[in-house]
Amino acid sequence: MEILDKLGINIPSLIAQAVSFGILLFILYKVGYQRFLKTVDERSRRIKESLEAGEKAKQEAVQAEQEVAKRIDEANLKGQQIVEQASKSAEAVKKKIEQDAKKQAEEIIQKAQVEIEREKAAAFNELRKEVADLAVAVASKAISHSLDEKTHQELIDSVLKEAAAIQD
């Protein structure tokens, strides 16, 4: 005991601080962590759906290309004169379908990427705001008893400025 006193360690204060820290961790876990996991799971689901839509568009493009190839093969079975005419028509149709399919696939993928980025940014901003609010509230409650009113207000203003700087 004397050694701890010489080192400036106050056992009751140390125990009180450890209990306060444990309570803070428990509150953060119950309030923030569950929301964070829920938000991340939702974002993951949306990203997965967007990727699946992009893959479906890619498969449709492949199917369209296969359809064009089938039409070309059927045209080859006809006579020489019909073959030339059908080949020209099929080639033009093939290019048009490929261009349209590629354009649609690119648009879907681009929209999905934009949506993913927007959702990601929104989730990050929302999470940052919630964590800042929670930290301010918990810190305010934890230290409100040991600070005078002026110091308490200065501390709150400082934390709010830091949170605003992080959000920008």
Interval 100-111: pLDDT, tens = 999 999 999 999
- Asked if 90 and 72 count as a contact pair (C-beta separation under 8 A), the reply is yes
Per-10-residue mean pLDDT for the chain, 168 residues long? 77 92 89 82 93 91 88 72 83 91 93 92 80 68 65 76 70
3-state secondary structure of 78: coil
Query: Distance between CA atoms of 142 and 133, rounded to whole angstroms?
Result: 14
pLDDT at 20: 96
Q: Model pTM?
A: 0.31
DSSP type of residue 31: I
